Structure 1
Amino acid sequence: MTPKAELLLFLASRNLLVEDIKHYLFRGYFVVLDRYVDSSVAYQGFGRGLGKEVVEKLNAFATDGLIPDVTFYIDIDVETALRRKGELNRFEKREFLERVRKGYLLLAEEHPERIVILDGNRTVEEIHRMVVEEIERRWKFDG
Protein backbone atom coordinates (compact mmCIF):
# COMPACT_ATOMS: atom_id res chain seq x y z
CA MET A 1 0.00 0.00 0.00
CA THR A 2 1.44 3.36 -0.96
CA PRO A 3 0.93 6.43 1.24
CA LYS A 4 -1.20 8.08 -1.48
CA ALA A 5 -3.41 5.02 -1.90
CA GLU A 6 -3.83 4.80 1.87
CA LEU A 7 -4.90 8.45 2.07
CA LEU A 8 -7.31 8.15 -0.83
CA LEU A 9 -8.96 5.07 0.67
CA PHE A 10 -9.43 6.84 4.00
CA LEU A 11 -10.84 9.89 2.21
CA ALA A 12 -13.27 7.79 0.17
CA SER A 13 -14.52 6.20 3.37
CA ARG A 14 -14.74 9.60 5.06
CA ASN A 15 -16.77 11.02 2.17
CA LEU A 16 -19.33 8.24 2.54
CA LEU A 17 -19.44 8.77 6.30
CA VAL A 18 -20.01 12.50 5.93
CA GLU A 19 -22.82 11.90 3.47
CA ASP A 20 -24.43 9.57 6.05
CA ILE A 21 -24.17 11.98 8.99
CA LYS A 22 -24.77 15.41 7.40
CA HIS A 23 -28.52 15.33 7.90
CA TYR A 24 -28.03 14.63 11.62
CA LEU A 25 -25.62 17.53 12.01
CA PHE A 26 -27.91 19.92 10.19
CA ARG A 27 -30.78 18.90 12.49
CA GLY A 28 -28.72 19.75 15.57
CA TYR A 29 -27.53 16.32 16.67
CA PHE A 30 -24.12 15.73 18.19
CA VAL A 31 -22.04 13.27 16.21
CA VAL A 32 -18.98 11.66 17.78
CA LEU A 33 -16.30 10.11 15.58
CA ASP A 34 -13.18 8.32 16.71
CA ARG A 35 -11.10 9.68 13.80
CA TYR A 36 -11.69 12.47 11.34
CA VAL A 37 -9.82 15.12 9.34
CA ASP A 38 -7.15 15.86 11.95
CA SER A 39 -6.25 12.18 12.03
CA SER A 40 -5.59 12.16 8.30
CA VAL A 41 -3.42 15.26 8.54
CA ALA A 42 -1.43 13.73 11.41
CA TYR A 43 -1.15 10.19 10.05
CA GLN A 44 -0.90 10.69 6.31
CA GLY A 45 0.30 14.30 6.14
CA PHE A 46 2.97 14.07 8.82
CA GLY A 47 3.37 10.36 9.46
CA ARG A 48 3.49 9.26 5.82
CA GLY A 49 5.09 12.50 4.66
CA LEU A 50 2.43 13.51 2.15
CA GLY A 51 2.31 17.05 3.51
CA LYS A 52 -0.13 18.94 5.68
CA GLU A 53 -1.49 21.23 2.95
CA VAL A 54 -2.19 18.42 0.46
CA VAL A 55 -4.05 16.36 3.04
CA GLU A 56 -6.02 19.37 4.29
CA LYS A 57 -7.14 20.24 0.75
CA LEU A 58 -8.17 16.67 -0.02
CA ASN A 59 -9.98 16.40 3.33
CA ALA A 60 -11.91 19.58 2.53
CA PHE A 61 -12.90 18.13 -0.84
CA ALA A 62 -13.94 14.75 0.64
CA THR A 63 -15.94 16.30 3.49
CA ASP A 64 -17.41 19.34 1.73
CA GLY A 65 -15.35 21.43 4.15
CA LEU A 66 -17.01 19.99 7.24
CA ILE A 67 -14.62 20.38 10.17
CA PRO A 68 -15.24 19.29 13.75
CA ASP A 69 -16.28 21.71 16.47
CA VAL A 70 -13.81 20.01 18.78
CA THR A 71 -11.12 17.37 18.47
CA PHE A 72 -9.82 15.59 21.54
CA TYR A 73 -6.22 14.48 21.14
CA ILE A 74 -5.09 12.08 23.85
CA ASP A 75 -1.35 12.69 23.98
CA ILE A 76 1.19 10.23 25.28
CA ASP A 77 4.86 9.76 24.57
CA VAL A 78 5.58 7.11 21.96
CA GLU A 79 7.64 4.91 24.29
CA THR A 80 4.76 4.57 26.75
CA ALA A 81 2.26 3.96 23.95
CA LEU A 82 4.41 1.21 22.45
CA ARG A 83 4.91 -0.40 25.85
CA ARG A 84 1.16 -0.45 26.45
CA LYS A 85 0.31 -1.74 22.99
CA GLY A 86 2.44 -4.85 22.81
CA GLU A 87 2.16 -6.27 19.29
CA LEU A 88 2.62 -3.64 16.59
CA ASN A 89 0.96 -3.19 13.21
CA ARG A 90 2.07 -1.19 10.18
CA PHE A 91 0.88 2.07 11.75
CA GLU A 92 2.84 1.63 14.95
CA LYS A 93 6.50 1.94 14.07
CA ARG A 94 8.33 4.25 16.47
CA GLU A 95 9.55 6.82 13.92
CA PHE A 96 6.15 6.97 12.25
CA LEU A 97 4.37 7.51 15.57
CA GLU A 98 6.84 10.26 16.52
CA ARG A 99 5.95 12.12 13.30
CA VAL A 100 2.22 11.58 13.91
CA ARG A 101 2.49 12.91 17.47
CA LYS A 102 4.40 15.98 16.29
CA GLY A 103 1.72 16.52 13.67
CA TYR A 104 -1.09 16.41 16.22
CA LEU A 105 0.78 18.78 18.53
CA LEU A 106 1.38 21.22 15.68
CA LEU A 107 -2.30 21.08 14.71
CA ALA A 108 -3.27 21.73 18.33
CA GLU A 109 -0.95 24.72 18.41
CA GLU A 110 -2.47 26.06 15.17
CA HIS A 111 -6.09 25.45 16.29
CA PRO A 112 -6.20 25.89 20.09
CA GLU A 113 -9.87 26.88 19.95
CA ARG A 114 -10.78 23.52 18.42
CA ILE A 115 -8.18 20.91 19.43
CA VAL A 116 -8.01 19.91 23.09
CA ILE A 117 -4.95 18.01 24.26
CA LEU A 118 -5.61 15.47 27.00
CA ASP A 119 -2.89 13.79 29.05
CA GLY A 120 -2.78 10.12 28.02
CA ASN A 121 -0.98 9.25 31.26
CA ARG A 122 -4.23 9.86 33.13
CA THR A 123 -6.67 7.07 33.89
CA VAL A 124 -9.52 6.28 31.52
CA GLU A 125 -11.92 7.70 34.11
CA GLU A 126 -9.99 10.96 34.39
CA ILE A 127 -9.83 11.36 30.61
CA HIS A 128 -13.55 10.67 30.34
CA ARG A 129 -14.25 13.29 33.02
CA MET A 130 -12.11 15.85 31.16
CA VAL A 131 -13.94 15.17 27.89
CA VAL A 132 -17.34 15.54 29.57
CA GLU A 133 -16.27 18.76 31.31
CA GLU A 134 -15.01 20.25 28.04
CA ILE A 135 -18.22 19.36 26.22
CA GLU A 136 -20.30 20.85 29.04
CA ARG A 137 -18.14 23.98 28.97
CA ARG A 138 -18.67 24.43 25.22
CA TRP A 139 -22.38 23.53 25.05
CA LYS A 140 -25.21 23.96 27.49
CA PHE A 141 -27.63 21.06 27.82
CA ASP A 142 -31.20 21.03 29.12
CA GLY A 143 -31.94 18.65 31.92
Structure 2
Amino acid sequence: MKTAVCYYSRHHGNTRKVLDAMADEGNLDLIDVTTRQTVRLEEYDCIGFASGIYGFDVQKAVVEFARQYLPQGKSVFFVYTYGGAKGSGAKSMVEIAREKNCPVLGEFSCKGYDTFGPFKLIGGIAKGHPDTQDLENARKFYRKIQAQNPQG
Protein backbone atom coordinates (compact mmCIF):
# COMPACT_ATOMS: atom_id res chain seq x y z
CA MET A 1 0.00 0.00 0.00
CA LYS A 2 1.42 3.35 -1.02
CA THR A 3 0.73 5.86 1.74
CA ALA A 4 1.49 9.54 2.25
CA VAL A 5 1.16 11.54 5.44
CA CYS A 6 0.83 15.29 5.05
CA TYR A 7 1.99 16.88 8.28
CA TYR A 8 2.97 19.94 10.27
CA SER A 9 5.44 19.45 13.13
CA ARG A 10 7.25 22.34 14.78
CA HIS A 11 8.04 23.41 18.36
CA HIS A 12 9.35 20.10 19.79
CA GLY A 13 8.82 17.82 16.76
CA ASN A 14 6.35 15.58 18.63
CA THR A 15 4.25 14.78 15.58
CA ARG A 16 7.31 14.03 13.44
CA LYS A 17 8.59 11.58 16.09
CA VAL A 18 5.28 9.71 15.90
CA LEU A 19 5.38 9.67 12.08
CA ASP A 20 8.98 8.45 12.02
CA ALA A 21 7.89 5.53 14.22
CA MET A 22 5.04 4.74 11.80
CA ALA A 23 7.44 4.95 8.85
CA ASP A 24 9.45 2.14 10.48
CA GLU A 25 6.50 -0.11 9.58
CA GLY A 26 6.79 0.31 5.83
CA ASN A 27 5.95 2.32 2.75
CA LEU A 28 5.16 5.79 4.10
CA ASP A 29 6.04 9.08 2.38
CA LEU A 30 6.10 12.12 4.66
CA ILE A 31 5.05 15.44 3.12
CA ASP A 32 5.68 18.61 5.14
CA VAL A 33 2.78 20.94 4.31
CA THR A 34 4.96 24.03 4.86
CA THR A 35 7.35 23.29 2.00
CA ARG A 36 6.59 24.36 -1.52
CA GLN A 37 6.46 21.21 -3.59
CA THR A 38 4.43 19.56 -6.29
CA VAL A 39 1.93 17.27 -4.59
CA ARG A 40 0.12 14.48 -6.43
CA LEU A 41 -1.86 12.69 -3.75
CA GLU A 42 -3.95 10.80 -6.32
CA GLU A 43 -0.92 8.49 -6.75
CA TYR A 44 -1.38 7.17 -3.18
CA ASP A 45 -3.69 4.41 -1.95
CA CYS A 46 -4.11 5.99 1.46
CA ILE A 47 -3.45 9.48 2.84
CA GLY A 48 -2.83 10.55 6.41
CA PHE A 49 -2.90 14.04 7.87
CA ALA A 50 -0.95 14.86 11.02
CA SER A 51 -0.33 17.80 13.32
CA GLY A 52 -0.11 18.91 16.88
CA ILE A 53 -3.27 20.37 18.38
CA TYR A 54 -3.24 24.17 18.21
CA GLY A 55 -6.15 26.02 19.78
CA PHE A 56 -8.10 22.77 20.16
CA ASP A 57 -7.81 21.69 16.50
CA VAL A 58 -5.17 20.48 14.04
CA GLN A 59 -2.89 23.16 12.61
CA LYS A 60 -4.65 25.33 10.04
CA ALA A 61 -1.97 24.70 7.38
CA VAL A 62 -2.86 20.97 7.45
CA VAL A 63 -6.59 21.75 7.15
CA GLU A 64 -5.99 24.03 4.16
CA PHE A 65 -3.63 21.52 2.56
CA ALA A 66 -6.31 18.81 2.82
CA ARG A 67 -8.95 21.13 1.46
CA GLN A 68 -6.77 21.90 -1.56
CA TYR A 69 -5.05 18.58 -2.34
CA LEU A 70 -7.10 15.65 -0.97
CA PRO A 71 -8.55 13.74 -3.94
CA GLN A 72 -12.12 12.45 -3.88
CA GLY A 73 -12.68 8.99 -2.44
CA LYS A 74 -9.21 8.26 -0.97
CA SER A 75 -8.94 6.37 2.31
CA VAL A 76 -7.65 8.69 5.04
CA PHE A 77 -6.45 8.62 8.62
CA PHE A 78 -5.45 11.26 11.15
CA VAL A 79 -2.60 11.58 13.63
CA TYR A 80 -2.21 14.29 16.24
CA THR A 81 -0.25 15.07 19.38
CA TYR A 82 -1.39 17.33 22.20
CA GLY A 83 0.00 18.79 25.40
CA GLY A 84 -2.94 19.31 27.70
CA ALA A 85 -6.12 18.30 25.93
CA LYS A 86 -7.12 16.77 22.60
CA GLY A 87 -9.61 19.55 21.99
CA SER A 88 -11.83 18.64 19.08
CA GLY A 89 -8.98 16.54 17.65
CA ALA A 90 -9.35 16.00 13.94
CA LYS A 91 -12.95 17.23 13.70
CA SER A 92 -12.24 19.69 10.88
CA MET A 93 -10.34 16.98 9.00
CA VAL A 94 -13.23 14.52 9.37
CA GLU A 95 -15.54 17.14 7.85
CA ILE A 96 -13.23 17.58 4.84
CA ALA A 97 -13.03 13.81 4.39
CA ARG A 98 -16.82 13.60 4.46
CA GLU A 99 -17.14 16.39 1.86
CA LYS A 100 -14.74 14.51 -0.44
CA ASN A 101 -16.31 11.07 0.14
CA CYS A 102 -13.12 9.74 1.74
CA PRO A 103 -13.50 6.80 4.13
CA VAL A 104 -11.84 7.52 7.49
CA LEU A 105 -9.80 4.51 8.64
CA GLY A 106 -9.04 5.87 12.10
CA GLU A 107 -7.30 8.40 14.33
CA PHE A 108 -4.19 8.11 16.45
CA SER A 109 -3.31 10.61 19.14
CA CYS A 110 -0.92 10.82 22.06
CA LYS A 111 0.50 13.38 24.43
CA GLY A 112 3.43 15.51 23.28
CA TYR A 113 5.76 17.79 25.19
CA ASP A 114 4.26 21.29 25.14
CA THR A 115 5.81 24.62 26.15
CA PHE A 116 3.45 26.85 24.20
CA GLY A 117 2.11 30.01 25.83
CA PRO A 118 1.63 29.79 29.59
CA PHE A 119 3.01 26.23 29.74
CA LYS A 120 6.47 27.70 29.17
CA LEU A 121 6.28 29.43 32.56
CA ILE A 122 6.04 26.08 34.34
CA GLY A 123 8.60 24.25 32.21
CA GLY A 124 6.06 22.67 29.93
CA ILE A 125 3.59 19.82 30.22
CA ALA A 126 3.56 16.21 29.02
CA LYS A 127 7.34 16.03 29.51
CA GLY A 128 8.93 12.96 27.96
CA HIS A 129 6.13 12.43 25.45
CA PRO A 130 5.78 10.96 23.00
CA ASP A 131 7.48 8.18 24.94
CA THR A 132 8.48 4.64 23.98
CA GLN A 133 4.96 3.30 24.61
CA ASP A 134 3.37 6.12 22.57
CA LEU A 135 5.67 5.31 19.64
CA GLU A 136 4.91 1.58 19.86
CA ASN A 137 1.19 2.39 19.90
CA ALA A 138 1.73 4.54 16.77
CA ARG A 139 3.43 1.61 15.00
CA LYS A 140 0.57 -0.68 16.01
CA PHE A 141 -1.96 1.86 14.69
CA TYR A 142 -0.18 2.09 11.34
CA ARG A 143 -0.03 -1.71 11.01
CA LYS A 144 -3.81 -1.71 11.54
CA ILE A 145 -4.23 0.97 8.83
CA GLN A 146 -2.13 -1.13 6.44
CA ALA A 147 -4.26 -4.20 7.16
CA GLN A 148 -7.49 -2.22 6.50
CA ASN A 149 -6.24 -0.93 3.16
CA PRO A 150 -3.99 -3.61 1.63
CA GLN A 151 -4.12 -2.58 -2.06
CA GLY A 152 -0.98 -1.41 -3.79
Higher radius of gyration, 1 or 2 = 1
Structure number with higher strand proportion? 2
TM-score range relative to shorter protein: 0.3 to 0.5
When the two structures are superposed, what TM-score results if normalisation uses the length of structure 2?
A: 0.36
| Structure holding more helix per residue | 1
